[in-house]
Amino acid sequence: MTAQITTSPIQQLLAGQRAFFSTGQTKTYEFRIGQLQKLKQAIIERQDEIVAAAKADLGRPAFEAYFEIAALGEIKLALKKLKTWMKPQRVATSVDVFPSSAWIQPEPLGVVLIIAPWNYPFSLLITPLVGAIAAGNCAILKPSEQAPHTSKVIAKLIKDTFAQDYIAVVEGATETSKSLLAEKFDHIFFTGGTAIGREVMKAAAQHLTPVTLELGGKSPCIVDADIHLEHAAKRIAWGKFINAGQTCVAPDYLLIDRAIKAEFLNHLKQAIQTFYGDNPATSPDYGRIINSHHFNRLTRFLDNGEVVLGGQADPSTRYIAPTLLDQVTWQDPIMQEEIFGPILPILEYETLDDAIAQVNAQPKPLALYFFSKDEQKQQQVLSSTSSGGACINDTVLQYGLATLPFGGVGNSGMGNYHGKAGFDTFSHHKSVLKHALWLDLGWRYAPYAVKGLQQIKRIITGR
């Protein structure tokens, strides 16, 4: 009697996608373009639902909630450039393979898994999906259970737009994620915290599955004395306090020239007051913390240093005021982990070399910000530090450029996406050599005569 083999719903879903991928339908230019257009239209038609879900999950104002559909820009770029991205790239050959031609041919990986975080729960799932579709893959999507309203919108949008053998959503909590990670995928794309990133990589290693990890870290914001104080303060306050600080590339701490610290703090306070009024709790433009766990984690930091602005917190609404902390040291708990909330610690430095040394003593961050009019100093900071990305005289905006690859380095992640980088992440770049048959030079064949040895020396050493 033969034992009956049972499979889980996830395994059945994966098998269905593998079967569909094997038909080759996803590989054609026409199919990929058609699916990108369907995704674009579905997002446009459901934009109000997406915005409402972001507000329900994070208390986001509509203006900030519209950042969730920024993936439309990624789709537009892919629609415009896909034919070029798919085209094989010819490369030079050498005399030892004459007569021949060679090229690099992008091809889809197969079935990929994309796991999204809760802070930008729609865009951080759909943006990598654009790259996966453009590259010709099938995909299983895992939205964050901590943003349930957005997860529900995503599940319905995908189900109404695509066959599940092509793209599907699997909702659930930690056990669901573990079940997904136990399966063999052709690529795993994860956005989230460093600790969970390690678990994702450990699970992927069991199947030798390649991973892209978009993590985080303590992104520094260095402020030189030679700046436009008002403009710099507004740009830093905006980047730090949008989405109540729950942005992976938000400035995590200020490192400011001691000579302008007091004056700059006044401008920073003014910017925050201008944005959110005297009582940000009543501002329609200020968000809330995602859940009680993160609220409690953040409020413990309010005892670090000296509160010079804000500090108010309300557990019933998960509200934490935009807060500036002065007199903070590197030994304080707030400087030991990524903050991911509306609390900005302020440190100071004497010289730029000192500031760079402080940054380099920490794990490599996802983003680095430097405010200065001095171009020599700008180059010094860029060449003397390592970070996933950098932005001069502004914050966060570098993330929104589809033409710039986005990703971390070291503890802040590995791999990147956006635009062509997303297409490349979800593609295998196959190297192809085509050797003609009409001529066959015999230099490489045995028996190896003295003349043959001299020829191979010349080919390899150039002498």
Residues designated catalytic: 214, 248
Question: Angle 258-259-263 (CA atoms, 0-180°, nearest 5)?
Answer: 100
In three-state form (DSSP H/G/I as H, E/B as E, the rest C), the secondary structure along the chain is CCCCCCCCHHHHHHHHHHHHHHCCHHHCHHHHHHHHHHHHHHHHHCHHHHHHHHHHHHCCCHHHHHHHHHHHHHHHHHHHHHHHHHCCEEECCCHHHCCEEEEEEEEECCEEEEECCCCCCCHHHHHHHHHHHHCCCEEEEECCCCCHHHHHHHHHHHHHHCCCCCEEECCCCHHHHHHHHCCCCCEEEEECCHHHHHHHHHHHHCCCCCEEEECCCCCEEEECCCCCHHHHHHHHHHHHHHHHHCCCCCCCEEEEEHHHHHHHHHHHHHHHHHHHCCCHHHCCCCCCCCCHHHHHHHHHHHHCCEEEECCCEECCCCEECCEEEECCCCCCHHHCCCCCCCEEEEEEECCHHHHHHHHHCCCCCCEEEEECCCHHHHHHHHHHCCCCEEEECCCCHHHHCCCCCEECCHHHEECEECHHHHHHHCEEEEEEEEECCCCCCHHHCCCCCHHHHHHHHHHHHCC
